[in-house]
Amino acid sequence: MHDPAKIQLIMELRRGGIRDPRLLNVIETLPRELFVEQPFRARAYDNAALPIAGGQTISQPYAVAFMTQALEVGPRMKVLEVGTGSGYQAAVLSRLCRRVYSVERYRSLHDRAEERFRALGIHNITSRHGDGMKGWPEQAPFERILVTAAASRIPTTLVDQLAEGGVMVFPLEKNPGAQVIMRLTRTAKRIETCEMIPTRFVPLVEGVAQDG
């Protein structure tokens, strides 16, 4: 790893409490420049969200790392991601678990992300164009669910698709403009939630997008 921007980013993530060596290794080796649009390639290792199609963003690396760490993904797990976007978060997850199912409401983003998975030879991501708020009932239950767009309340349809002992991490818009990353655990008897850190994500929107 000789790219100074990359070294800087990994140091920043470590300082921010990202300690999981497997995760840091994935971020180090996965080419984020392939997930950002051409004009932003030079800034691919900035710790910043960057614009993608449909007025959406590829999430900030720290947010990706923090949420992935909070999810505690294991190598045998089946994970659902809501909000494929660029496909970067799904690609990170794919290196840490058995299979990723990812849903995106913009067809154009879904298509581009699939091309990237193919180009990178990633074979354990199944993605589809649709409304991720409905989850992926045919594949439920999931050991882990990661939502990468901000919900205005706990997405109960997704909680229903979580396995017993499963964990869901999602940004929640508590008040207009004030979001927090939430970690939710489903036990046999109840749902436990824990507020983690403030954050900023694009909104979770119901239904598929009309982007031709």
3-state DSSP assignment of residue 192: strand
Residue among 165 and 207 whose Cβ is closer to ligand SAH: 207
CB of 190 to ligand SAH, least distance (A): 26
Residue among 10 and 169 whose Cβ is closer to ligand SAH: 169
Residues facing 145 on adjacent strands: 80, 168
In the region spanning residues 166 to 195, those forming contacts with ligand SAH, defined by CB under 6 A, are none
- Cα 190 to Cα 146, 160, 183, distances in angstroms: 19, 12, 14
CB of 143 to ligand SAH, least distance (A): 19
56 lies in the site for ligand SAH, by CB under 6 A: yes
Residue among 58 and 162 whose Cβ is closer to ligand SAH: 58
User: Which residue has 């349809």 as its token pair?
Assistant: 157
129 lies in the site for ligand SAH, by CB under 6 A: no
Please confirm, yes or no, whether 108 is among the known catalytic residues: no
Judged by CB under 6 A, which of 105, 112, 116, 186 binds ligand SAH? 105
How far apart (Å, rounded) are the C-alpha atoms in residues 56 and 37?
12
Q: How many residues bind ligand SAH (CB under 6 A)?
A: 25
202 lies in the site for ligand SAH, by CB under 6 A: yes
Which pairs count as long-range contacts for 88-91, CB under 8 Å and 24+ apart, including other chains?
88/30, 88/32, 88/35, 88/58, 88/59, 88/64, 89/59, 89/64, 89/146, 89/148, 90/117, 90/125, 90/127, 91/30, 91/35, 91/116, 91/117, 91/120, 91/122, 91/125
Residue among 16 and 130 whose Cβ is closer to ligand SAH: 130
Residues that bind ligand SAH (CB under 6 A): 54, 56-59, 82-83, 85-86, 88-89, 103-106, 109, 131-133, 148-149, 202, 204-206
Give the residue numbers marked as catalytic. Answer: 59
